[in-house]
């Protein structure tokens, strides 16, 4: 398995579970399982595995960048996983003291 595959698969899993399970549990609408995430994740993993043959550091860096982006940028129909976790824990909208 290529070094870039792990972060890509984790990013895809976080997106899939956030939209279908976590966001609805936090009260952000009904559960919508976005099945398009699965082939998109597989395609990105394959593309970065191929790119890793030419530029290993670059491909691995892009995979980690995709992972971080999934956490902080809303992908799909749900809010970001960090916003969902903040809302579920009751921390949304509270100012730091």
pTM for the model stands at 0.86
- Contact of 71 with 85, CB cutoff 8 Å: no
Q: Is 96 among the domain residues?
A: no
Q: Is 97 among the domain residues?
A: no
Q: Is 62 among the domain residues?
A: yes
> Domain range holding 63?
5-88
For 43-89, the pLDDT digits (tens) are 999 999 999 999 999 999 999 999 999 999 998 888 999 998 888 88
For 19-52, the pLDDT digits (tens) are 988 888 888 778 888 899 999 999 999 999 999 9
Question: Per the structure, how many domains does the chain have?
Answer: 1
DSSP 8-class letter at 30: S
- Contact of 88 with 22, CB cutoff 8 Å: yes
Q: Is 26 among the domain residues?
A: yes
């Amino acid at each position: 398995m290529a070094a870039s595959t792990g972060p890509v698969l984790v990013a895809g899993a976080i997106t899939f579970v956030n939209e279908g399970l976590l966001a609805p549990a936090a009260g952000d609408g009904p559960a919508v399982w976005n099945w398009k995430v699965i082939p998109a994740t597989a395609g990105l993993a394959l593309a970065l595995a191929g790119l890793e043959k030419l530029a290993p550091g670059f491909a691995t860096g892009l995979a980690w960048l995709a992972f971080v982006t999934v956490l902080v940028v809303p992908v799909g129909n749900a809010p970001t996983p960090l916003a969902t976790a903040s809302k579920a824990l009751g921390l949304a909208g509270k100012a730091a003291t």
